[in-house]
Amino acid sequence: MRDFNEIANNFNKNHSDFKLKGSRSTSRYIKPKKDNSIPYKRLKYKNAEKLAKDLDFKALDRVFVVVDGSFIFGDFIEAFIVNHNILVKEITLSTLSMNQDNVDSLKNLIDAGYIEKLNLIVSDYFYSHEISNLIKYAYEKLDHEDRFQLAVCRTHTKIYQMETEGGKFIVMHGSANLRSSDNLEQFVIEDSKEIYDFNQFYFKNILERYKTINKSIKSKELWQVVAKDIPTSTTIEAQQPQECED
């Protein structure tokens, strides 16, 4: 069996198909297939709304962006959707952390009819610190008409992706959380069904296993079930055990 050194010596990057000379199927190590890469468009931006306006949504392939520390990614997502009048069938946001402005931005998009379904995946660290504050606020503002799900797990990913009514699969991934960090950040925006499907496969598993909203129980239905079996005060008194007489 040939070793890695033999493969390295035979490697010629000018070969368009990356095939080995005299290749044999018994080799443990094989050369990678040639990557038909999409060229990057490289941009630098400080303002989220300006970037959203300047991007050509119809001809969006792959864009690499470096942004200032004041850049708010949550604002960019809202501006990107609104400026290009994108109708989103489903959007999944996986982030380490966020802030109240991000929640308000997502509520605006839902209320205006831009987003049909919203999935949010946050870190357990963030959840544990915000359970009484921002998490509660997110439930109050976003959990309406079964269009929202929140999952919590040990995640550090910053991936934001959406499927549009027009058949595009927009994926945004990089170092930026939804809120600003006061640091330089970088991310890639691309229209790629292959990457979208790859991410969505494990996102669905995370959302199912680590969900925090039980959609099988509607809030009104839950109260009806509880109220139905609550005895009145007179019934409670009648059901009190009687003391035995000596």
Distance CA 131, CA 101 (A): 17
The region, left, alpha or beta by phi > 0 then psi within -120 to 50, assigned to residue 11 is beta
Same domain as 141, residue 88? yes
3-state secondary structure 83-118: HCCCCEEEEEEEECCCCHHHHHHHHHHHHCCCECCE
Domain housing 149? 37-213
And the tokens for 12? 């010629």
Supply the pLDDT for residue 185: 87
Q: What angle in degrees, to the nearest 10, is found between the helix axes of 100-111 and 134-142?
A: 0
Q: Single out the residue of 75, 78, 59 nearest to residue 67, CA to CA.
A: 75
Supply the pLDDT for residue 16: 45
Q: In which residue ranges of the chain is pLDDT below 50?
A: 1, 4, 7, 11, 15-16, 18, 20, 234-246
Supply the pLDDT for residue 241: 44
Supply the pLDDT for residue 217: 72
The pTM is what?
Answer: 0.72
Q: In total, how many domains does the chain have?
A: 2
Q: Which residue has the tokens 């009104």?
A: 220
Same domain as 42, residue 11? no
CA angle 46, 47, 50 (to 5 degrees): 125
* End-to-end Cα separation, the chain, in angstroms: 95
Q: Which residue has the tokens 């409670």?
A: 236
Same domain as 206, residue 91? yes
Indicate whether 82 belongs to any domain.
yes
DSSP string, 50-67: HHHHHS-STT--EEEEEE
Indicate whether 41 belongs to any domain.
yes
Same domain as 201, residue 79? yes
